[in-house]
Structure 1
Amino acid sequence: MSLPQTSAPPAPRPSLTLFEGYQVLARGSHVVVAQALAAAIRERRNGPVLAFDDHTGQVVDLDWRGSDGEIAVRYAAPEAPATSTEEASSTKARGPGRPRLGVTAREVTLLPSHWEWLATQRGGASVTLRRLVDDARRASATADRARAARDATYRFLHAIGGDLPGFEEVSRALFADDQLRMEALMVNWPADVRGYAQRLLST
């Protein structure tokens, strides 16, 4: 069976935070942070300068070469592609009963008992499967967000704080969902590192 898959929701607006060592230098769009990175490198500052994605905690490799104007052009947001006449005609040509959702056909394999049950459901197999997936996504949304926040926090801490005292204990507290212990262990860490970790964890 080909299972129509609804398109994913739009991704959050990209935002970065730039650290020099353990101190925040800049925060904002790719343009703002890349320009701040270029200035830091031109000034030959001491310590590593790293940019982090504010949603995933991952280190972002930015191209800081050139003038501020060249950097702005390089990281300018691309315009949304216009819908072609052919695509519009294809959309209008869909047969009756086809959901106007922007779907992708994928194969799904089920046991005979699953197919038998789906055949008894109102709306047919595709409608029922979409509903089940949506229900499962809603039920796990809180846990999924918490897991993503923990993963983002760990990526950041591993990249910037791997040598800080008590890093292993902090990591264990993070994955044990013991935020109070984690904050207590980080009390003597640099303020910007603590603040950014807490920001990622609460995202």
Structure 2
Amino acid sequence: MSNTLPHIYCTAFLGVGVVASGSFQHVVTTVQKSLSDRELTQLLIFDDSTGKPIDVVFRGKTDDEEEQFGGASGTEVNHQSTRRVGRPKLGVVSGEVTLLPRQWEWLKSQPGGASVTLRKLIDEARRAGKKQSTIRESQEATYNFMTAMAGDFHQYEEALRALYAGDLDRFYDFIDDWAPDIRNYIKKLAINAFSEENGT
């Protein structure tokens, strides 16, 4: 049943060329219709969010497409959980904070007082942490795909070093002469791998 299909987006490669891209269901249907059985055995499908290959077992022209998902990509299909938290209407929770006297003095001297300042500091730290997490996830997805598809490409190791060093220009230079579909997909995976100051 189609509602049990993985809700992921992926890209299928035959050799160094893209043959289909989009939702999992679209990619599976497209490659089944357009490729021979021999070509299907050589096909590699990658999860667009993780850069990891997805194991798909093609069993002919079956309508039961959910059987074709091998589940080896490590992607969790169900991310939602129902959870109710008992909080006051304003969402404010009181708690205890232990600080040194000089820290309390600084907090109290800030506009809005200690509570407002603490909330601002926490929100800023959360935003910074989320940004770093996004960069790491993009780097990891790019690494996963490059390892699988470009490990023997010219300047592969140099490109990886530039990726983790956050050097966008050098990274693009190193992958510039790679197969176009490989290079373009790497750029797609690496879209959030570099900090804003090094971005395009």
> Do structure 1's residue 63 and structure 2's residue 42 form an aligned pair?
no
Which residue type is aligned with residue 43 of structure 2?
Answer: V
Which blocks of at least 5 consecutive residues in structure 1 are unaligned? 1-12, 100-109, 123-127
Cα distance in 1 for residues equivalent to 2:24 and 2:167: 33
Cα distance in 2 for residues equivalent to 1:63 and 1:36: 15
- With structure 2 as the length reference, what TM-score do the two structures score? 0.63
Cα distance in 1 for residues equivalent to 2:41 and 2:66: 25
What SS is found at the alignment partner of 2:45? Answer: strand
**More divergent stretch after superposition (54-63 vs 18-27):** 54-63
**Is the contact between residue 21 and residue 47 of structure 1 (CA under 8 Å) also seen in structure 2?**
no
Residue among 35, 43, 46 paired with 1:49: 43
**CA separation of 1:48 and 1:175: change in aligned 2, threshold 3 A:** farther
**Is the contact between residue 158 and residue 174 of structure 2 (CA under 8 Å) also seen in structure 1?**
yes
**CA separation of 1:161 and 1:138: change in aligned 2, threshold 3 A:** same
**Is the contact between residue 59 and residue 68 of structure 2 (CA under 8 Å) also seen in structure 1?**
no
Residue among 181, 184, 188 paired with 1:195: 184
Which residue type is aligned with residue 47 of structure 2?
Answer: D
Cα distance in 2 for residues equivalent to 1:98 and 1:66: 56
**CA separation of 1:47 and 1:177: change in aligned 2, threshold 3 A:** farther
**CA separation of 1:74 and 1:59: change in aligned 2, threshold 3 A:** closer
**Is the contact between residue 58 and residue 68 of structure 2 (CA under 8 Å) also seen in structure 1?**
no
Cα distance in 2 for residues equivalent to 1:63 and 1:98: 51
**1:144-194 Cα shifts (integer Å, max 9, x gaps):** 212211111111111111111221111111111122112222222100001
- With structure 1 as the length reference, what TM-score do the two structures score? 0.62
Residue among 147, 150, 155 paired with 1:161: 150
**CA separation of 1:15 and 1:196: change in aligned 2, threshold 3 A:** same
Percent identity among equivalent residues?
30
RCO comparison, higher one (Cα < 8 Å, 6+) = 1
Deviation at 1:134, TM superposition (A): 4.9
**1:51-77 Cα shifts (integer Å, max 9, x gaps):** 1111111111123324352216877x9
**Is the contact between residue 26 and residue 36 of structure 1 (CA under 8 Å) also seen in structure 2?**
yes
How many residues of Structure 1 are paired with residues of Structure 2 in the alignment?
170
Cα distance in 2 for residues equivalent to 1:30 and 1:181: 33
Cα distance in 2 for residues equivalent to 1:149 and 1:95: 35
**CA separation of 1:46 and 1:34: change in aligned 2, threshold 3 A:** closer
**Is the contact between residue 56 and residue 68 of structure 2 (CA under 8 Å) also seen in structure 1?**
no
